[in-house]
């Protein structure tokens, strides 16, 4: 079996067998299939797509490329994955909240690249917080607290790490087949009993249209079912930031606010809905209404906040909140009317340019940089109403005042609000 022959087959639009896919993935991990050959495969997949059976075979081969997390308790094991969006700090709230509900949450998260922030970068704005743990260390933490949030381990689905670096430079990140295999290879290696997907839809997320979001969600659900992993998906709005805060330390502060009962209602609502999906899926006989009641009570009682602080300490961090953020510039609305649009791309680009995000993987992040958006689509505003707070080096305030004011479009006609949850798929 020759790599070139298999690549030519996929390039011509033919279906690959399980054995051919395993051969390529195994060879790639053992340096018998060159990077340029795997990059060619990724491009052929991006152009021609993959059938469901091919995606399952690719996912399985990527799982088998590394180790699986050991089971350390009889509690159900669950996780959530988001396709990424502006201001998405749900994982920081959801993971400790679920851990108070008799489930284990082994959350393996990523870093920010481009306009969307990464959970690991947010957590590392907490002094001392360690996002890299060995499998033994993370297992002990899961046994003790029922939760951890860490970065990918080189021993967990290493084929995914290697392939992703090629996808990033070959323009094949958008492939639904490759996204599905990437996400599920890590989740299956974590030996989950249930997974919920938060698929963002809109200008501030990766899936710009509802059709794209549905295609990805259905692919994940289908491949999950073939791998005995039940998956539900929530399609949520990303035509405006989730909550008010965009940045790293500032998003940690907002997550802590939600854990303390005072954060933005849309962040709280999405967190509760995602948590209820997982709890009802992992506890036989528990209705979704009962799950909503359970997670709401645990959030409002303060025990989720306690578990978050325990997790921070256990991962080397110091739970001193709020975290420090940059000097504030308040930007006001220039006219009366209704909020018609919030330009997510402009806001995300500003945070990246100011050092709060990455253009390249090696870029360093300034965790004190951030924005707060004080309005939402459909809201009535008046001239002089605060719409955005910029937090950064004071010397940069004047440079960004005008562009950020233009990020919020005001109409003189009434505008309807946008629903947070667009659809749910099972």
The active-site residue out of 64, 77, 167, 374 is 167
The active-site residue out of 186, 307, 323, 374 is 186
The active-site residue out of 79, 160, 198, 237 is 160
Active-site annotation holds for 81: yes
Determine the Cα–Cα distance for residues 404 and 256; give it in Å rounded to an integer. Answer: 26
Determine the Cα–Cα distance for residues 305 and 299; give it in Å rounded to an integer. Answer: 7
Q: Which of 18, 9, 361 is nearest to 161 (CA)?
A: 361
Q: Would you call the peptide bond into 314 cis, given omega within 30 degrees of 0 as the criterion?
A: no
Determine the Cα–Cα distance for residues 165 and 173; give it in Å rounded to an integer. Answer: 10
CB 46 within 8 A of CB 165: no
Active-site annotation holds for 364: no
Active-site annotation holds for 160: yes
CB 4 within 8 A of CB 37: yes
Active-site annotation holds for 30: no
Phi/psi of residue 36, nearest 5 degrees: -65, -30
The active-site residue out of 10, 75, 80, 81 is 81
Angle at Cα 222 formed by Cα 185 and Cα 195, nearest 5°? 55
The 10 Å CB-count burial string (b at 16+, else e) for 316-331 is: ebebebebebbeebeb
The 10 Å CB-count burial string (b at 16+, else e) for 383-420 is: eebebbbbbbeeebbeebeeebeebbebeeeebeeeeb
Q: Which of 274, 201, 260, 264 is nearest to 231 (CA)?
A: 274
**Sign, Cα dihedral of 378, 425, 83, 94:** positive
End-to-end CA gap in the chain: 39
Contacts with 360 (C-beta within 8 Å, 6 or more apart), sequence order: none
Number of other CB atoms surrounding residue 226 within 10 Å: 16
Place of tokens 């090696």: 362
Contacts with 140 (C-beta within 8 Å, 6 or more apart), sequence order: none
Element (H, E) at 304: helix 303-314
Active-site annotation holds for 382: no
Q: Which residues are catalytic?
A: 81, 160, 167, 182, 186
């Amino acid at each position: 079996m020759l790599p070139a022959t298999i690549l030519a087959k996929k390039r011509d639009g033919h279906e690959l067998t399980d054995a051919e896919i395993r051969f390529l993935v195994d060879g790639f991990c053992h340096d018998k299939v060159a990077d340029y050959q795997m990059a060619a495969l990724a491009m052929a997949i991006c152009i021609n797509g993959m059938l469901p059976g091919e995606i399952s075979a690719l996912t399985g081969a990527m799982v088998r490329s590394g180790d699986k997390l050991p089971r350390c308790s009889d509690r159900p094991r669950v996780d959530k994955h988001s396709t990424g969006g502006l201001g998405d700090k749900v994982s920081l709230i959801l993971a400790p909240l679920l851990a108070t509900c008799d489930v284990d949450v082994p959350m393996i998260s990523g870093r920010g690249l481009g306009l969307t922030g990464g959970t690991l970068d947010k957590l590392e704005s907490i002094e001392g917080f360690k996002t890299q743990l060995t499998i033994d260390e993370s297992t002990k933490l899961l046994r003790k607290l029922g939760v951890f949030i860490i970065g990918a381990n080189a021993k967990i689905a290493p084929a995914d790490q290697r392939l992703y670096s090629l996808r990033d430079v070959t323009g094949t990140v958008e492939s639904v087949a490759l996204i599905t295999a990437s996400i599920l290879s890590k989740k299956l290696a974590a030996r989950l009993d249930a997974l919920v997907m938060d698929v963002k839809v809109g200008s501030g997320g990766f899936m710009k249209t509802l059709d794209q979001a549905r295609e990805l969600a259905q692919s994940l659900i289908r491949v999950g079912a073939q791998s005995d992993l039940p998956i539900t998906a929530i399609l949520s709005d990303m035509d405006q930031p989730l909550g008010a805060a965009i940045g790293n330390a500032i998003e940690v502060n907002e997550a802590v606010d939600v854990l303390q009962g005072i954060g933005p209602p849309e962040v709280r609502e999405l967190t509760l809905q995602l948590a209820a999906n997982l709890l009802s899926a992992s506890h036989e006989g528990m209705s979704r209404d009962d799950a909503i009641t359970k997670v709401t009570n645990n959030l409002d009682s303060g025990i989720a906040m306690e578990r978050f602080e325990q997790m921070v300490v256990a991962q080397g961090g110091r739970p001193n909140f709020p975290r420090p953020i940059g000097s504030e510039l308040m930007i006001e609305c220039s006219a009366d009317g209704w909020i018609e649009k919030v330009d997510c791309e402009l806001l995300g680009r500003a945070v990246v340019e100011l050092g709060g995000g990455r253009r390249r993987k090696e870029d360093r992040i300034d965790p004190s940089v951030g924005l707060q958006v004080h309005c939402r689509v459909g809201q009535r505003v008046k001239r002089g109403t605060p719409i955005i707070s910029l937090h950064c080096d004071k010397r940069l305030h004047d440079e960004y005042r005008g562009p950020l004011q233009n990020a919020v479009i005001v109409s003189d006609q009434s505008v309807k609000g946008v629903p947070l949850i667009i659809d749910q798929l099972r």
